Structure 1
Amino acid sequence: MNDSGHRILLGRVLGALGLRGEVRLESWTEPRSAIFRYQPWTLRDAQGNERTVTGVQGRESGKHVVAVFPDATDRDAAEALKGLEIYAPRSALPPARPGEFYWADLEGLRVVTVEGADLGTVSHLFSTGANDVLVARDAERERMIPFVQPQYITAVDLEAGIVTVDWDPEF
């Protein structure tokens, strides 16, 4: 799945830092500073308004990334960026290595158990710190399955659109 029209959420703007227009970013790339490689970015606010930006520069600093946007030259302009989500085209990211997956490539895939029970589709994934969690939803419920291979996630077939799990459908 490498749909060039598909966008990936890479991070968000946390708020202003200092007086010169710098902002703190939460980056979900690995390493965190890799977020700057995937420009142009589409910035989306809480109301769904979007704009494109290029030329953002930055660096890692502690647990966040510090960025300078070309059009934010003071604290007020930087504070106006707070809360914006940062998206990049899926096609801008390099191919995943064998055995690795972009979360966005898993969203929407069917989830079935090794016995063939249908658990719905991948709604989203999130990190707990200890491990990642795959959320499978069907019409009746939501299941949170640790993304631990091969113990719980036994196979991912992007071509067939299926994630196979060793998971009790009643859990």
Structure 2
Amino acid sequence: MSETVCVGAIAGSFGVRGEVRLKSFCAEPEAIATYGPLSSEDGKASWAVTLARPVKGGFAARLTGVTTKEAADTLRGVRLYAPRDRLPALPDDEFYHADLIDLAVFDTGGVEIGRVRAVLNHGAGDLLEIQVPGQKAPVLLPFTREVVPTVDLGAGRLVADPPEGLME
């Protein structure tokens, strides 16, 4: 598990006074401002975040040191990371997406079938994108208790019981 977790991203500038359009990846979107300062993926830059107001697709926000539209424009696409120890503890059977990525996926017979490459959510629940060796296209596996009965972060693996025909 990494020491930081991606909690949001900058979608671009908002207005002409240095505000940014901030997308929050937090379960409670406003909580992103409480985990700061937030850093870039490489850790070379960090910012305290102040949410100004909700806007379509996220928040208008101010970042320390960003005072012009041009400065805000240069941050478009930057993902924001928070130290793991500042994030809330999760109840059993809930996981940070970052912890699931790169886990080995085994079937119920103990045979490794692939690795988790991404966790997706298009509104109907989480899907695990599994890269299966020898297949070009990844497999999308519903992340439900029925299909993924076991997640063992300590061992770096999960057990899946994919629906019949999905892995062919």
TM range (shorter): 0.7 to 0.9
The aligned residue for residue 154 of structure 1 is 149
Instruction: State how far apart, in whole Å, the 2-side matches of 1:83 and 1:63 are.
Output: 14
Matching residue within 13, 18, 39 for 2:10: 13
Instruction: Give the letter for the 1:108 counterpart.
Output: D
Instruction: Give the letter for the 1:54 counterpart.
Output: W
CA RMSD of aligned residues (A): 2.1
Name the count of aligned residue pairs.
163
Instruction: State how far apart, in whole Å, the 2-side matches of 1:148 and 1:30 are.
Output: 18
Instruction: State how far apart, in whole Å, the 2-side matches of 1:60 and 1:96 are.
Output: 26
Quick check: 1:108–1:123 contact (8 Å CA) kept in 2? yes
Quick check: 1:23–1:66 contact (8 Å CA) kept in 2? yes
Q: State the TM-score, normalizing by the size of structure 2.
A: 0.85
Instruction: Give the letter for the 1:21 counterpart.
Output: G
Matching residue within 104, 107, 110 for 2:98: 104
How much does 1:50 deviate? 5.2
Could you say what secondary structure the match of 1:77 adopts? helix
Once the two structures are superposed, residues 50-98 of structure 1 have per-residue CA deviations (whole angstroms, 9 ceiling, x without a partner) of 5322322114334312210121223222222222121222232222111
How much does 1:104 deviate? 0.9
Counterparts in 2 of 1:43 and 1:159: CA distance versus 1, 3 Å: closer
The aligned residue for residue 139 of structure 2 is 143
Q: 1:166 aligned to 2:161?
A: yes
Instruction: State how far apart, in whole Å, the 2-side matches of 1:111 and 1:85 are.
Output: 27
Matching residue within 66, 73, 76 for 2:70: 76
Matching residue within 37, 42, 66 for 1:40: 37
Matching residue within 30, 50, 53 for 1:57: 50
Q: State the TM-score, normalizing by the size of structure 1.
A: 0.83
Quick check: 1:38–1:93 contact (8 Å CA) kept in 2? yes
Could you say what secondary structure the match of 2:59 adopts? strand
Instruction: Give the letter for the 1:71 counterpart.
Output: G
Instruction: Give the letter for the 2:22 counterpart.
Output: L
Could you say what secondary structure the match of 1:140 adopts? coil
Q: 1:27 aligned to 2:24?
A: yes
User: Once superposed, which parts of structure 1, at least 4 consecutive aligned residues long, lie more than 6 Å away?
Assistant: none
Structure 1 vs Structure 2: percent identity of aligned residues? 32
Once the two structures are superposed, residues 116-149 of structure 1 have per-residue CA deviations (whole angstroms, 9 ceiling, x without a partner) of 2311222221112111111222432332101122
